[in-house]
Amino acid sequence: MTMHRTFLPLVVSMGDPAGIGPEIVVAAAARQPELLSRLVVAGDVATLERAAQVMSRGGCPQVPDIRVVDGPDGLAQPAGGGLAVWQACEPHDTVPFGQTSPVAGRAAAQCIREATNAVLRGQACALVTAPVHKEALSLAGVPWPGHTEMLQSLAADHMGCTVAELPVRMMLSEPRLKTVLVSIHISLRDAIAAVTRDRVLQTLEITDRHFRRFGGRSPRMAVAGLNPHAGEGGLFGREEIEEIAPAVQAARAAGLDAHGPYPPDTVFMQARSGAFDVVIAMYHDQGLIPVKLLGLEHGVNTTLGLPLVRTSPDHGTAFDLAGKAMARPDSLMEAIKAAFAAVSDPG
């Protein structure tokens, strides 16, 4: 990892306190002690202290102490060792492991808000988010279904624009495959309706900008069809003919390296073999299943289109593992590595 050139810390939001988020944050710091001087956690101090105790009892070596700091500038305070945590949500009684609750959802949302605002204000270089539980967010009255939509809204407010004026997309990646989604957390019925020429074209444009900004070149983009066999010439649906292919043609006319639509049951294999840099998937599960099948331990979720760098592990809260010191921090560590790499890139 290369530290950001202005030496701002990376901020990690703790995720749902009833899930594995706090434990994998502690485990990541235990596995790579050099992170202690590079990141600060937006969380609940008692929850992070409990996570450290769980990991210590579970045999995790070099579990760091929890060092309470006043805010995201805490790493600039006199060092005392340990994992820097600031109380970014209202203090609360520790919630039971593995249980959905409005208290947990509210705490997770408050930590996301504080962590995001710290990056937007220039107090931190990037944001990494530990997993949240969407039902818990809903029970807490949070008006967004997940991280991506919440971050989009917070960033739009900061920029003084509307959400519609700040389109974002979700990219899941692992070393062999990257995929960007046309739609995210909506029903399958609504996702099909969202496959429009304008939305597919917008996804291609957002993806191209991201790769040029952080990779230095335009990506080779493969566009998946919506229907079996990419519609088979209209026999199995006309979305490819009427919406997807026109979007690809418009993108190519604008100079983007876009191709397709391809049958969705083979295009991911083509990308994995190196024929393409990224696959544009038409809906959530179409794009996420192939990446997760290749392995959760290296998967990273990146939000494209934000005015900040945000990554996260590509798994959920894993309530069944919470409190058992069994969760592995590999995906979170990959997300931290990806965030540092992005903000260290001269582009």
For the chain, 347 residues long, give each residue's pLDDT as a single digit of tens.
Answer: 333 334 689 999 999 999 999 999 999 999 999 888 889 999 999 999 999 999 999 888 889 999 999 887 766 554 557 999 999 999 988 899 999 999 999 999 999 999 999 999 999 999 999 999 999 999 999 999 889 999 999 999 999 999 999 999 999 999 999 999 999 889 999 999 999 999 999 999 999 999 999 888 999 999 999 999 998 899 899 999 999 999 999 999 999 999 999 999 999 999 999 999 999 999 999 999 999 998 777 889 999 999 999 999 988 999 999 999 998 999 999 999 999 999 886 44
pLDDT at 71: 82
Instruction: Specify the amino acid at residue 194.
Output: A
* Prediction pTM value: 0.90
Every domain of the chain and the residues it spans: 1-166+306-347, 169-305
pLDDT at 79: 53
pLDDT at 206: 97
Do the bridges between strand 310-313 and strand 300-304 make them parallel or antiparallel, or are there none, so unpaired?
A: antiparallel
> 1-166+306-347 and 169-305 share one CATH topology?
yes
Angle at 250 between CA 233 and CA 179, to 5 degrees: 75
Pair 25, 42: CB distance under 8 Å: no
CATH of 1-166+306-347, one of 3.90.1560.10, 3.40.718.10, 3.10.129.10, 3.40.50.300: 3.40.718.10
pLDDT at 198: 97
CATH architecture entry for 169-305: 3-Layer(aba) Sandwich (3.40)
Measure the CA–CA gap between 243 and 197, rounded to whole angstroms: 4
Query: Of the candidates 44, 4, 310, which has an alpha carbon nearest to the alpha carbon of residue 154?
Result: 310
Measure the CA–CA gap between 98 and 52, rounded to whole angstroms: 17
pLDDT at 215: 80
pLDDT at 345: 60
Scan for tokens 């990646």, then name that residue.
173
Instruction: Specify the amino acid at residue 113.
Output: R
Pair 322, 22: CB distance under 8 Å: no
